[in-house]
Structure 1
Amino acid sequence: MKRLHIYYHFIILIVLVSLFPGCSKQLELAPPSKYNARDFYKTQQDFSLAIGGTYGGLRGIHSYQYPLVVESLSDNISTSTNNPYTRYTLDASDPNVLSLWSAYWTIIDRANNILDQIDQGQFTDTDLQKKIKGEALFIRGFCYFQLSWLFGGVPIVDRVMTEQELLQLTRPSVEVTLTFAAQNLITASELLPETSTGKDIGRATKYAAFGLLGRLYLFNKQYDKAKAALEEVIDSENYNLYDDFADCFKNTKDNGEEHVFQIQYTSGLINQGNQLVYTLVPENIRSPLFPNGGRSLWLAVSKDLYESYEEQDIRRDVTIQKGYTTSSGVIDTETLLYVKYAHGDVPGIPEDNDVNLSVLRYTDILLMYAEVLNELEFEANGEALEILNNIRDRGDATLYEATDLTSQEDFREAIFHERRLELACEFLRWFDLVRMDRTRATSILENFVSQVNEGNGTYKFDSKFYLLPIPASERQVNKNLEPNPGY
């Protein structure tokens, strides 16, 4: 399991610590240096730099490989994108799946290095020591949750291990992996502050941990626990919805009242910008929103998603642009583009956008809570319907009457539909399809594929794709890593 990227003898820290007074972004950059991880973490400053590097690991993977893989697998992306995820041809040799796997293990290793040493650290500020420990647990819990729903059960690495120890690890069940992730988030919630302010704005908080716990429990159909975790966030009264839906995706509104946890980006420094805007459009686009074009491999939005919005729903045009002009002057009137993150300042160079990426938005908290209420007990005209209509009202979508949703199944369908519209391009649709009733999800995907099937067998959904393949290169190193079924 050497290539799992869990164990490092040396690490290179080029750490960006972001300071955010109000909603502005300032930077404090540590000089690039090479340290022995075991010797490095001693002082308060050492641990502060180390946790900054641990957060930094989330940046790159979540603005390219993660959205490319998980959004393409869903019915939000057109098969015209022509990648192995939209066409359901990916296998265990896929490089982007390997990048996902490797990135999360790298981040887990960074967190483990901190957690192994922090209790012996030389801290003058014990509150800071407690907070950094909570942040490391939060990030490790997040990564394990991501790995569990993407790949199934994965090895539990709860400390820095030798290469020999790593090679003996096997895959536990997904339930064991989810339990470990939950334990990390629970402990993190006990250590983290309720808010992050000043130079710490954007860091994990108690309520970010509870929010992720709610998502994890919802995924695992532990509805009572999900309800309790989500109520911690709601009852805190720290969060609210922006009046304008588009504000959720502007850099001037980053770390504001609707954002429970965001991955932080900044412009002007190498590898610190958000490349997502660039990833979502074609390389031949000519537009003041995208002065540098896009990628050759990008995410074309499906007609199915576009037509799922009502005509008056303002969320559609904030999220999706229909048509574009090519660099040669040709006007394309049909292609659908994600433009959700292109409403703030335009970056001067590609991959240098400083808009943050929300991992957990308060709207998502409310939608999950409404879903949990329905799963526990359907109520035709209760709190869950009120939540759903409040979210639709902001988007100018038609409100539901109690007579429109007359059963638990009706409301469940409405919630999943609303999540698709509200959270499109926030990379949760595949997560929702994976956790949905399997028969229903398969029906949705097979129907979506049938709309574009040209009869050549290219577009054929197989249920094995509900889990990503364990990378073949990892299994060559550690024979104990069982493959996922069908790969």
Structure 2
Amino acid sequence: MKRLISYIALAATVGTVACNKEALNKGPLNLYSDSNVWKDSALISRVVLESYSKIHAIYDDAGNWMICDITDEAKAAKSFLESNQINSGQYSPSSNINTDLWTNTYTAVRNCNSVLSHLDETPLSAGGKQQIKGEMLFLRALHYMDLYFTFGRFPIIDKVLTLNDELTMGRATDEACINFMVKDLDDAAAILPGSYPASSTGRATRFAALAMKARLLLNHKDYSGAAAAAKEVIDKGGFSLFPDYGAMFFPENDDNSEVIFNKEYAGDLSGQVHSLDDYNNSTYFTGFGSVRDCPTQNMVDQYLMTDGKPWNQSALYDPAHPYANRDPRLHASVIYDGTTWMNTEMDLKLGSAMNPGTSSTAITGYLLRKFMNPNYIFGGNNTNYQNCIMMRLGEVYLNYAECQLKLNNPGEARTYVNLLRKRVNMPEITGTLTWDDYVRERTVELAFEGQRFNDIRRWGTGATMIGAAIRAMQVGIVNGARTYTSVPLEQRFFEDKMYYFPIPQDQLQKYPAGKVPEQNPGW
């Protein structure tokens, strides 16, 4: 499952690479001269591998705050986390939020540019050079997409520059940024293979490039372009929906049939790990003040009853058992009171051993279940870290469906929404697929996966989906029976300027006088 490390096996393609462990056991790359690196196939492979390791995935944010915490999906349990500043509107450029993302993106881009600039002088075969070129173009676009979705327009750097040169680059126009990323993805798609042998799982493919292009163009509201890219993935990619929605994210199902691209966590081989299981389980399991990201009642309310109706319109809803007869994706995504997790019935009443209200509080009455490993060994040498799925067929279906709705083809959109509902045995939509139907389906299908903030920006619904009144579930006991009451938790703040983060002040201060890029509007 953790096969990206076998990138060293590129020897079969490029010729002279050493065995995997021998290549990995060599010293740090900064101990080699630049000229020596590009003459050694094993070192070249390590540089390429390093480019993959620099991918920013939502799992990398575990232990801090995840982007779901600044939408109506979730609430960070710790008051000291930056997401609470964001949700109250108490931040500015000098808060330097996401400054590491800015720095790390340009470090990653520089690595891609370095590989691209040296490819011609390497001893690799023509086919090996082309393949690596495609991968670097894909990764460069992926890094820039992360920057673009956070800050908007960015300085385009497409070659290795000196530090002084880099600090004179201004922010490109929005059109130039989009065109640059699309070209990288198009060029990558034209070069990359559609698939790899199992020994090379985890590397970028033609279809990963096309699916990322569809995501980018959808967010740019180029519905025809996004639809065309998504449909090519659907028709030609050979992917299929994984039959078990919840288990799709378990480590034993890494690289399953639905995965188009993910970040591979290779444990003891590459040193890449994440802390998702440690920081999002109750202190009952972890032994320390662990909880970070808690689903909101707002999010739970989005899950329909099994008759296809909202909870407040369905005869199936029982306030004494509010989680019964719900869309199965609720159980797969959220730990709620009374459910079983790690062979333990969860008691989320405030003050219980599982929700003590001190160092480890499920502040909303819920814990995150999606992505979590139900067999994680706390305090053990558990190296089976689950991959982070960054693009899957389910999202491609939804991206395509949204484009079709915008292009006035609701019947085509309904087909792909119903495929997702059928997977979890929810009633198919037989009448007209409304915009609200689509938004709800996207909300629950992609819950916590990191796309909601982009969706909200695209839809222009920040006032209601970011600046929302956040609610929690209060679990009580009356006459020996458990009660469930939805209660207000916090009123969030939103202004349109918050669709993009301000450029961190500590980054702007690095520029020489007269060359400082303009700040985002309103900041």
**Residues 166 and 294 (structure 1), Cα distance of their counterparts in 2 relative to 1, 3 Å cut:** same
Q: Which runs of structure 2 are paired with 1:193-272 in the superposition (5 Å)?
A: 193-268=193-268, 271-272=271-272
1:299 counterpart residue number: 293
User: Aligned equivalents of 1:400 and 1:218: distance in 2?
Assistant: 24
Would you say how many aligned residue pairs link Structure 1 and Structure 2?
450
Query: What SS does the aligned partner of 1:58 have?
Result: coil
Pairing 1:484–2:513 present: no
Higher radius of gyration, 1 or 2: 2
1:365 counterpart residue number: 396
8 Å contact from structure 2 (residues 58, 450) kept in 1 = no
Q: CA deviation at 1:265?
A: 0.6
2:123 counterpart residue number: 122
Query: What SS does the aligned partner of 1:262 have?
Result: strand
**Residues 103 and 162 (structure 1), Cα distance of their counterparts in 2 relative to 1, 3 Å cut:** same
One-letter code aligned to 1:76: E
For residues 84-119 of structure 1, what are the alpha-carbon distances to aligned partners after superposition, in whole Å with 9 as ceiling and x for unaligned? 233332332445511222221111111011011112
For residues 452-482 of structure 1, what are the alpha-carbon distances to aligned partners after superposition, in whole Å with 9 as ceiling and x for unaligned? 8789xx7322222110121111101115222
Q: Which runs of structure 2 are paired with 1:273-352 in the superposition (5 Å)?
A: 273-281=273-281, 285-287=283-285, 291=286, 293=288, 295=290, 298-310=292-304, 311-323=325-337, 324=346, 330-332=353-355, 335-343=365-373, 345-349=375-379
2:46 counterpart residue number: 49
Residue ranges of structure 2 left out of the alignment (5+ in a row):
10-18, 305-324, 338-345, 356-361, 473-486
Query: What SS does the aligned partner of 1:245 have?
Result: coil
8 Å contact from structure 1 (residues 195, 205) kept in 2 = yes
Moved more, 343-352 or 466-475: 343-352
Moved more, 359-368 or 321-330: 321-330
**Residues 319 and 18 (structure 1), Cα distance of their counterparts in 2 relative to 1, 3 Å cut:** farther
8 Å contact from structure 1 (residues 16, 53) kept in 2 = no
Deviating above 6 A after TM superposition, structure 1's stretches of 4 or more consecutive aligned residues are: 450-455
Q: CA deviation at 1:268?
A: 3.5
Query: What SS does the aligned partner of 2:366 have?
Result: strand
State which of 386, 396, 415 in structure 2 corresponds to 1:355.
386
One-letter code aligned to 1:220: H
8 Å contact from structure 2 (residues 277, 376) kept in 1 = no
User: Aligned equivalents of 2:85 and 2:34: distance in 1?
Assistant: 38
**Residues 347 and 87 (structure 1), Cα distance of their counterparts in 2 relative to 1, 3 Å cut:** farther
One-letter code aligned to 2:368: Y
User: Aligned equivalents of 2:173 and 2:224: distance in 1?
Assistant: 22
User: Aligned equivalents of 2:407 and 2:56: distance in 1?
Assistant: 36
Q: Which runs of structure 2 are paired with 1:442-481 in the superposition (5 Å)?
A: 442-448=463-469, 459-478=492-511, 479-481=515-517
TM-score by length of 2: 0.78
Query: What SS does the aligned partner of 1:442 have?
Result: helix
8 Å contact from structure 1 (residues 280, 338) kept in 2 = yes
Moved more, 174-183 or 64-73: 64-73
**Residues 393 and 55 (structure 1), Cα distance of their counterparts in 2 relative to 1, 3 Å cut:** same
Moved more, 172-181 or 442-451: 442-451
2:114 counterpart residue number: 113
For residues 282-313 of structure 1, what are the alpha-carbon distances to aligned partners after superposition, in whole Å with 9 as ceiling and x for unaligned? 5xx213xxx455636x1121110012112421
Identity %: 25
Query: What SS does the aligned partner of 2:367 have?
Result: strand
Q: CA deviation at 1:486?
A: 2.8
Backbone CA RMSD of aligned residues: 3.1
Query: What SS does the aligned partner of 1:340 have?
Result: coil
**Residues 432 and 277 (structure 1), Cα distance of their counterparts in 2 relative to 1, 3 Å cut:** farther
Residue ranges of structure 1 left out of the alignment (5+ in a row):
1-14
For residues 416-438 of structure 1, what are the alpha-carbon distances to aligned partners after superposition, in whole Å with 9 as ceiling and x for unaligned? 221110111211111111111x2
Query: What SS does the aligned partner of 2:102 have?
Result: helix
Moved more, 61-70 or 243-252: 61-70
Query: What SS does the aligned partner of 1:260 have?
Result: strand
Query: What SS does the aligned partner of 1:435 have?
Result: helix
